[in-house]
A and B are shown apart, each in its own frame.
Chain A
Amino acid sequence: MTTTERTAASYFLPSDEPLGLVTADGTPTPDPALAMPADDVLLRLYRGMVSGRRFDTQATALTKQGRLAVYPSARGQEAAEIGSILALRPQDWLFPTYRDSMAVVARGVDPVEVLTLLRGDWHCGYDPYRANVAPQCTPLATNTLHAVGFAHAARVKGEDTVSLVLVGDGATSEGDTHEALNFAAVWKAPVVFLVQNNGYAISVPLEKQTAAPSLAYKGVGYGMPSVLVDGNDAAAVHAVVEQAVARAAAGEGPTLIEAVTYRMESHTNADDATRYREKAEVEQWLTRDPISRLKQYLTDRGLLDDKAQQEIDARAEEEAAALRERMNVDTELDPADLFRHVYAEPTAALRQQAAELAHENTEDQA
């Protein structure tokens, strides 16, 4: 359906049920508005999700070994994380949150650099300009505005760059989300907002977060197309994000996508999810697992056999082993770094304080 065939209302309103291409048991459900990704893309999505989950379990293990101070798991959200990242073009930018380490790694950032934040060594361990990934954002929703500004600047400069911003369900209650949606729509900025609705903002469930029929409705009032998609269906997430990116790149403005998914683990390793959700609910979501779903579909189609599966698993295992080994190296931090990146040039007061600290440290060693 082209935009001109739609009335304003039908154009902006999300569907009542999440869009999908593959059901929970791996059965294809073609959608005329949504093209099934090509076979090679589906295989890349699958490999990415297997690697992503292995990264996630490795990072969780590193918290138990004391190598990471904290880790917010994205287990269960692989389809949303990988499905969206693989829909980006090289020149596009990602504006992730703290939970999106898996997406940042999938975008090409060194996993050790990604985990520098959570290890406690520095607030952002990677150069944002190397893989076009903004620093992972800890305050909720503030990254939405950065994405809009970045995208607007790209248009001003005549560059074909789309911003993809990731937020969770809790962030949709923050003022910045609303300001960002409004600015993006008014400016027709090339931005894709992807809300990963994983059911809980730490312990607060969706019904206490919003009274809207779905979070996708948040885009309607701002005047942008709003899409509700099955967030555990990597093919569908990839298809809707790819459409939204193409729409943004064509100068048609922003899109809001709600991907309905579930956070299988606690908010972080420090949280106790049994205090606020039932075991039965978690188990019910296990039957909708994004990885086994795509695996079933690919196997049924003859695109994935045991040999290929073994290769994919082996590669994910190698990546995890390499990460583990590199994370087990003790890092040495230079206290003088405290003063180096506050201003372009340290102020007189900072130079003085750096000297005081150096003196303090020399006395400690003496």
Chain B
Amino acid sequence: MTATLDTTLSLAGALNRALADALAEDERVLIFGEDVGTLGGVFRVTDGLAARFGDTRVFDSPLAESGIVGTAIGMAMNGLRPVIEMQFDAFAYPAFEQITSHLAKLRNRTKGQVELPVVIRVPYGGGIGGVEHHCDSSEVYYTHTAGLRVVTPATPDDAYTLLREAIDSPDPVIFLEPKRRYWEKGTVDPQRRSPGLDKAVIRREGTDVTLISYGGALGTTLEAAEAAAEEGYSAEVIDLRSLAPFDLETVAASVRRTGRAVVVHEASRFCGYGAEVAAQLSEHCFHYLEAPVLRVAGFDIPYPAPNLEQHHLPGVDRILDAIERLQWDDAAPLDGEK
């Protein structure tokens, strides 16, 4: 479409626009959760939607996460497409049983007879100075669960597109919204569709090392790539977008070109998402690798108090340090020499 349709929006604004467009285009879509109606959500992602679409389409529910997910399952069984909100990452844990035992499995349990096109929006991750239980990176609880799709946008344009595609998906989608990027502005083209709900994209091209990241950590990773360039390393940056399924094809193709890889995320390292990426790369790219796949992640601690979070979240320096550790041969032979 023409560029005149492009609009500059924050990531939160892009999500709001995506919800509004989905509500307008499909009467089966409805939005509910705590504070999503009159208040418009604590991050204002649902701002104005109840006023525009009425309180049958957009409404406040009682405060109970299992109740929100469990009733959404029943609504989806009866032909609706609920988009529900867990107010913060760690507040979703009471709904864990409904998500893992039912939302993820009902298609499978019924041999495909029950389809659950439910989207659960979860503001996740840190970097906003939130108090305890407001900053968890809970992605692997969901990615480990077969039957769920888990996606996370890192740009306003992708926020719009991924959310529209998530709502259209016949599978349940955990839609992780990186809180610290909510206010990040960018150009949004509502006509654009992504290469697919399960595809990664290359955000920056490079030849020496592949940096793999997503969500909240992507901005820091791109900054680190710029800084690495000044030190002579050409870094390619991949935004995974979809954590489940994992786009091995795009990631492996890049790593085969560069021979080196660093996975960057803010969740704890142990059994974190980076462990899966590193394992897949060692299985599929071993003979192309010049160095072990490294992980730059948060520490293996409960999410720290806000005044300490800057030490926990991976910053540019930690990523640059990892790049330095990738077994570069300082005494590299001159071009043409063996």
Q: Could you tell me which A residues sit within 8 Å of B by CB distance?
A: 122-124, 127-129, 134-135, 139, 142, 144-154, 156-157, 161, 163, 175-176, 179-180, 182-183, 186, 337, 340-344, 347-349
Contact = CB atoms under 8 A, between A and B. Distances in A.
Interface stretch (B34-42, B109-117, B265-273, B301-309): B109-117
A152 B77 contact: no
Contacts of A150: 74-75, 77-78
Contact of B78 (A153, A347, A348): A153
B108 A341 contact: yes
B66 interface: yes
B101 A146 contact: no
Interface size class of B (residues with CB under 8 A): 35 or more
A122 B111 contact: yes
B245 A349 contact: yes
Contact of B79 (A135, A145, A153, A176): A153
Nearest to B246: A349
B61 interface: yes
Interface centre among A129, A145, A156 (most CB of B within 10 A): A145
Contacts of B108: 123, 341-342
B70 A145 contact: yes
Contact of B248 (A127, A139, A348): A348
B77 A146 contact: yes
13 contacts: A122-B109, A123-B105, A128-B77, A142-B97, A142-B98, A145-B73, A146-B102, A149-B72, A340-B111, A342-B107, A343-B107, A344-B171, A348-B248
Contacts of A179: 62, 64, 66-67, 70
A152 B74 contact: yes
Nearest to B115: A344
B94 interface: yes
Interface in B232-277: 245-246, 248-249
A176 B96 CA distance: 12
Contact of B245 (A127, A129, A154, A348): A348
A342 B106 CA distance: 9
Nearest to A139: B101
A344 B112 CA distance: 8
Interface string B207-228: 0000000000000000000000
B80 A156 contact: yes
B70 A142 contact: yes
Contacts of A163: 74
Interface in B9-32: 30
Given A127-B113, A142-B97, A183 B71 contact: yes
Contact of B149 (A124, A153, A182, A343): A343
Nearest to A163: B74
B56 interface: yes
B110 A124 contact: yes
B110 A135 contact: yes
Contact of B70 (A146, A153, A347): A146
Interface centre among B73, B110, B198 (most CB of A within 10 A): B110
A146 B74 contact: yes
A135 B102 CA distance: 10
Interface in B64-101: 64, 66-67, 69-80, 82, 94, 97-98, 101
A146 B30 contact: no
Nearest to A148: B71
B151 to A, nearest CB: 13
Given A128-B114, A139-B97, A182-B62, A342 B146 contact: yes
B33 interface: no
B170 interface: yes
Contacts of A134: 77
Nearest to A146: B74
A345 to B, nearest CB: 9
Interface centre among B97, B98, B109, B115 (most CB of A within 10 A): B109
